[in-house]
């Protein structure tokens, strides 16, 4: 993800935007009487290993605290790199295919699959159904980076370059620490509040389609129940990037 190395190179600016920006947002939303805010977080906020992830973790805590203390309702959405965005490996591999060499960090590295449309749908779900004080995560299939390379350029050289500093082998949407407070609701996981205005039991009592996890687990892309095959990845890429 391009934001991560940029943030590592400019940690003060990263904290200013994501942390001080969250504080300013909370203040102005309260002052202006804004009813609801949906903030976009990241999988990198879960057990952060980079300054970008740490800043998103802090952003979440600031806005969840504001939800408890103000009349504005703050909901969070967490999702991974959008496939059809500049931060995804897919457009990088499509560009590198022209050179005949794909640079791969680790073929066994896994990522969640989410498109721009699905990201927008998640935000709209949070606007329509968010209570405020929760983090909403999509339930998405995973893919292996090596399979993505095979789907896009099977004939090219696949050159292994190793992971970047702080880069995780697998993405996580919620941690084992958060799992006791998570409800599944249709195609979403709802990370409910711990010290907020409501709790997991209250949420599941009022939302018929929501239920606590049957077993506790960390929701990460490496242990996901559903993985996209090479053929399925190719179909997704073909649908997102015309003429590939």
Alpha-carbon separation of residue 232 from 31, 88, 110, 152 (angstroms): 48, 17, 15, 11
Return the structure tokens found at 123: 């935000």
Torsion (CA) 190, 196, 199, 202 in degrees, nearest 10: -110
In whole angstroms, give the CA distance from residue 142 to residue 222. Answer: 8
Burial (CB count within 10 angstroms: exposed 0-12, middle 13-18, buried 19+), residue 112? buried
| 44 assigned to active site | yes
* 69 Cα distance to chain centroid: 26
CB 45 within 8 A of CB 78: yes
Which of these is catalytic: 44, 69, 95, 206? Answer: 44
Catalytic residues: 44
């Amino acid at each position: 993800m391009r934001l991560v190395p940029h943030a590592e190179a400019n940690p003060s600016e990263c904290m200013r935007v994501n942390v001080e920006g969250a504080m300013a947002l909370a203040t102005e939303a309260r002052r202006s009487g804004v009813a609801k805010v949906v903030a976009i977080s990241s999988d990198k906020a879960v057990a952060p290993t980079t300054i970008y992830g740490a800043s998103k973790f802090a952003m979440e805590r600031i806005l969840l605290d504001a939800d408890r203390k103000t009349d504005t309702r703050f909901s969070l959405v967490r999702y991974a790199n959008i496939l059809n965005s500049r931060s995804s490996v897919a457009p990088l591999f499509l560009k590198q295919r022209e050179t005949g060499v794909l640079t791969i960090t680790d073929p066994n590295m896994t990522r969640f699959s989410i498109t721009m449309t699905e990201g927008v749908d998640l935000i709209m779900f949070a606007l329509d159904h968010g209570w405020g004080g929760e983090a909403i995560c999509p339930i998405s299939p995973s893919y292996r980076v090596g399979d993505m390379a095979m789907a896009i350029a099977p004939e090219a050289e696949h050159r292994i370059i190793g992971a970047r500093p702080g880069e995780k082998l697998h993405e996580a949407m919620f941690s084992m620490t958060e799992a006791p407070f998570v409800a599944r609701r249709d195609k979403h996981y709802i990370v409910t509040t711990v010290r907020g205005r409501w709790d997991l039991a209250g949420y599941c009592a009022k939302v018929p389609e929501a239920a606590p996890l049957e077993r506790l687990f960390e929701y990460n892309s490496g242990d996901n129940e559903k993985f996209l095959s090479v053929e399925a990845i190719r179909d997704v890429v073909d649908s997102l990037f015309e003429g590939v």
